[in-house]
Structure 1
Amino acid sequence: MALSIQVVIDCADPDKVAHFWADALHYKIQDPPTGYDSWEAFLQAHHVPEDQWTRASAIVDPAGKGPRIFFQRVPEAKTVKNRVHLDINASQLATDPAASQAERQQRIITEAGRLTELGARELYRMEEFGNLCITMADPENNEFCVQ
């Protein structure tokens, strides 16, 4: 049986980065545990000091198919290229193989534009074997690709 995974992203502002990625991936901020109407209520009940309430956040796929993504505050800023990154498969090549190359590229460009409006920035574009890949950075400069 395969094991489930959680992707963890280090950042300075977990709430800000979690909201960006929730919007980017059509995920949602994870609901508080059953029996609590908010995360604040949960944290208070577990005697977590208020100055620790913003040290983490998580997002989940509302359909329950994608992995949970956890954002944790770290003291150091990002200084070099990510060793692991997320790819957003906007071209839908696997689910719509009949789409033309032009249609797939337009989907990628449109998605990159939407992500820019959410706070990402484009770093560079690359095309290999007719496939476009746009490398971008999230609000804290973590690289990801739109392909």
Structure 2
Amino acid sequence: MAARIDLTFDCTDARLLAEFWKTALGYIDEPPPAPFRTREEWLAQFDPPEDDSADDGAWLCDPDGVGPRLSILKVPERKTAKNRLHLDIRVPGHGSPDERWARIRAESERLMRAGGKVLEEFDRHHILMADPEGNEFCVGAASSEAPVSGACPSGGHAPRVIA
């Protein structure tokens, strides 16, 4: 059985980043673990410093239970370098390259309205963006090919030729 993963974002404003990723992915706030009724109750068990607050973190989940859980945690330092890992948001649907590109552009525009920023477009293949805290992610089309049973679907970026 494969291990499940969570993804954690460090940030300076957990609420802002949580709202962005809820919009981007269709995620919801994850309820606190049982037997706790609130995140404040859950956090209190760790005897945090007085200046820690439940607002210093956010925990999101896929309402369908398919995608990884997201933890968004406030840290004192700002992001200073390019991410070594990033998310790819795959826009569903089939059609011609022009139709797929139109859907990718529409999704990037929706995410810009939510606080994202376009960093670069790559030959009508995908768009590199950043969330409100500068974490890079890409928006591209979902693979039009059905995955082979037992195999991971390929979703890699097109190779770039550097002259």
Shorter chain as denominator, the TM-score bin is 0.7 to 0.9
How far apart in 2 are the matches of 1:5 and 1:60? 12
- Consecutive unaligned residues of structure 2, counting only runs of 5 or more, are 141-163
Matched, 1:144 2:137: yes
Query: Equivalences for 1:1-147 in 2 at 5 Å?
Result: 1-44=1-44, 48-49=48-49, 51-53=51-53, 54-90=55-91, 92=92, 96=93, 98-127=94-123, 131-147=124-140
Instruction: Give the superposition deviation at 1:78.
Output: 0.8
**Counterparts of 2:102 and 2:46, CA distance in 1:** 48
Name segments (4+ residues, structure 1) moved above 6 Å. Answer: none
Mark the runs of 5 or more structure 1 residues left unpaired by the alignment.
none
When residues 50 and 3 of structure 1 are mapped into structure 2, their CA distance, relative to the original with a 3 A threshold, is: same
d(CA) in 2 for partners of 1:83, 1:137: 14
Amino acid at match of 1:73: K
Post-superposition Cα deviations, 1:10-53, rounded to whole Å, max 9, x if no partner, equal 11112211121011100011112334443234445765455212
Identity of paired residues, percent? 42
Give the letter for the 1:122 counterpart.
V
Change (3 A) 1:46 1:76: closer
TM normalised by structure 2 equals: 0.77
CA RMSD of aligned residues (A): 1.8
Post-superposition offset of 1:74 = 1.7
Contact 1:28/1:62, CA 8 A, preserved across alignment: yes
Shift in alpha-carbon separation, 1:44–1:10, aligned structure 2, 3 A: closer
Residues 70-109 of structure 1 deviation map (CA, whole Å, 9 limit, x = unaligned) = 112222111111111111001x2xxx4x421111111100
**Take 1:51 and 1:25, find their aligned partners in 2: how far apart are those partners?**
30
CA distance in 2, matches of 1:117, 1:38: 31
Q: 2:143 maps to what in 1?
A: none
Separation in 1 of the partners of 2:85 and 2:108?
20
